[in-house]
Chain A
Amino acid sequence: MKRRVVLVDDHGLFLAGVRAELGDAVDVVGEAGTVAEAVSLIKDVDPDVVLLDVHLPDGSGDTIINAVAPDRPGVKFLALSVSDAAEDVIAVIRAGARGYVTKTIAPDELAAAIERVAQGDAVFSPRLAGFVLDAFRAGEHVAGDEELNELTPREREVLQLIARGYMYKEIAARLHISAKTVESHVSSVLRKLQLSTRHELTRWATQHRLV
């Protein structure tokens, strides 16, 4: 069954481009250009996945997630952005998005990312993986919940390979683990990214751009 997808972006040209690129891979059930439009549209059509621009004319992506999530817990969000402050990308992910990809992503990879997010997995672009590695630096001990504030060596390895441009199945082959295990490591990192109290995250994000 094709995934039902809502596109949220204020650039009409870009929306048209994404729709054309995705083609038959997914079923685009709606498009919105503002926070207000997006919230009511998503509540109306209850899609599987929302492709979300980080910046909109009347607010940011995390506002939409916060407004929709309580009513539509089944809707998954994937941030799709051309170039943004890491701060905003992290805000969207911490609000509950299942991942972040850049707008330069190839069409087939975007379709794969949508499918992965729809199944409840996480999607990291190489840049986001680099960011997480930087923000969760090894050896820096942080007070608080250690489980949430540290990455395991295995998670670090997986993220490193994502940053180097490896796809999940390539990572699985390299580390001699199953693709499902790779998925679960990435989901675990996503959870840490969302729940960690590491102040490094905020500090890092205010200083960087995921260009």
Chain B
Amino acid sequence: MPLPSFTTNADERALAGVCAGIAQALGVDVTLVRVVFALLALAGGAGIVLYVALWVWSRSDRAWWAAILLLVAGALLLGAVGVSDRAVVGIVLVAGGLTLAWRRGGGFRPDAPFSLGGVLIAGLGAVILLQNGSAPSRVLAPGAVAGALLLIAGPWLWRLALERDAERAARIRTEERADVATRVHDSVLQTLALIQRHAEEPRRVASLARRQERELRGWLYADQPLGEDTSSLLAALSAAAADVEELYGVRVEIASAGDATPDGALVLAAREAMTNAAKFAGVEEIDVYAEVGEDEVAVFVRDRGVGFDPAAIPDGRQGVRESIKGRLERAGGTAVVTSTPGEGTEVELRMRR
């Protein structure tokens, strides 16, 4: 049992420093402790014996003497408050027996013989107590026995509870580990396997690595796979960017100021703009910037690629004309494509919120 540690205090001692030591251990005033001992000394000298017992106990190699002295002090105390001799004997036997059980077991354990012996002695004491007719012991004895039992069983139950908590924590850790292992297996290990198989195709390897990176970040930082967050424009754009990266082996850098509920037409138009840049611009990297304003959301998709003359888009190039402009205008937005041959292209998509 975790008793507060206690050593005699030589600096402030009056006798052996027991009172000062207790006062220090409990954090109370030394005078208070001395008064308590003085009062107890009036109770048939119990305080004096108790003092000696504690002094002996503070030299731990004589713990048994201390225990016996403690029992004597307890007996004197009980006698002083008017408990009959027979009851005192009973109580001392109960206390002594339980102490024996306790000290040898470090708690009550049925498998330790000393524990068993102690319990037997305590039982004998209890029998003596219960046969005793005097009035105070009828009240005292069952209470003392219950209290003593509580003292023994309490710490044991407490430890059980602690162990159970520790077990639960360990189980949660194991489950988390398993979850991480599953995720790593489903994603990272699969990707590494794919990368090994496609080692001859640098673009494919780069796009695999890039996609894996996105997935991992989405999981590590947002705590959900990208693309499953339906409330975030940024998440929707990131998911679209990841698809484009994987399909065309380019890198899409996304920046944003603010976030909003995604608009389907806007996200699809942005995706189409990224796809066009990836297919026709001949660049490795595409910049996407989303800006959420008071009453408008703007998405910019930019590349530093070959560019083209917007006035000369052939009718067959359905991408820009239909997928981007038409789609967005039908949904109430606008799309502006700026491009200069040799300097790159920027698609500017705006939608009212």
Residues of A within 8 A of B (CB): 83, 102, 104, 106, 125-127, 129-131, 133-134, 137, 139, 160, 163-166, 209, 211
Contacts and interface: CB of A to CB of B under 8 A. Distances in A.
A211 B285 CA distance: 17
Contacts of B300: 164-165
Contacts of B167: none
Contact of A134 (B253, B257, B304): B257
A106 B285 CA distance: 10
A164 B257 contact: no
Given A134-B257, A163-B257, A126 B289 contact: yes
23 contacts: A83-B217, A83-B221, A104-B251, A106-B285, A126-B253, A127-B255, A130-B289, A133-B257, A133-B291, A134-B256, A134-B257, A137-B258, A163-B256, A163-B257, A163-B291, A164-B255, A164-B289, A164-B300, A165-B255, A165-B300, A165-B302, A166-B302, A211-B217
B287 A164 contact: yes
Nearest to B256: A130
Given A139-B294, A160-B291, A211-B217, A134 B258 contact: yes
Contacts of B255: 125-127, 129-130, 163-165
Nearest to A109: B285
A164 B255 CA distance: 8
B346 interface: yes
Contacts of A160: 289, 291
Contacts of B285: 106
A209 B238 CA distance: 14
A164 B302 contact: yes
A55 to B, nearest CB: 13
A126 B289 CA distance: 8
Given A130-B257, A164-B300, A211-B217, 7 more contacts: A104-B251, A106-B285, A126-B255, A133-B291, A160-B289, A164-B287, A165-B302
A131 B302 contact: no
B32 to A, nearest CB: 48
Contacts of B256: 130, 134, 163
A165 B251 contact: no
Interface string B325-353: 00000000000000000000010000000
Contacts of B287: 126, 164-165
B221 A211 contact: yes
Contacts of A83: 217, 221
B350 to A, nearest CB: 13
B346 to A, nearest CB: 7
Interface residues on chain B, size class: 10 to 19
Contacts of B294: 139
Nearest to A132: B257
Contact of A164 (B221, B251, B346): B346
A165 B254 CA distance: 9
B292 to A, nearest CB: 8
A77 to B, nearest CB: 22
A156 to B, nearest CB: 10
B253 A165 contact: yes
Contacts of A129: 255
A90 B254 CA distance: 19
Given A106-B285, A130-B289, A163-B291, A209 B221 contact: yes
B181 to A, nearest CB: 22
B289 A165 contact: yes
B202 to A, nearest CB: 16
Contacts of A137: 258
A126 B255 CA distance: 6
Contacts of A125: 255
Interface in B279-322: 285, 287, 289, 291, 294, 300, 302, 304
Q: Chain A CB within 10 Å — which of B285, B289, B302 has the most?
A: B289
Nearest to A128: B255
Interface string B101-135: 00000000000000000000000000000000000
By Cβ-Cβ distance, the 10 closest A-B pairs, closest first, are: A165-B287, A126-B255, A133-B257, A130-B255, A134-B257, A130-B257, A163-B289, A164-B300, A164-B289, A165-B302
Q: Chain B CB within 10 Å — which of A83, A139, A160, A163 has the most?
A: A163
A67 B258 CA distance: 34
Contacts of A166: 302
Nearest to A210: B255
A140 to B, nearest CB: 10
Given A126-B287, A165-B287, A165-B289, A131 B257 contact: yes
A60 B282 CA distance: 39
B323 to A, nearest CB: 21
A104 B113 CA distance: 70
Nearest to B303: A165
Interface in B230-284: 251, 253, 255-258
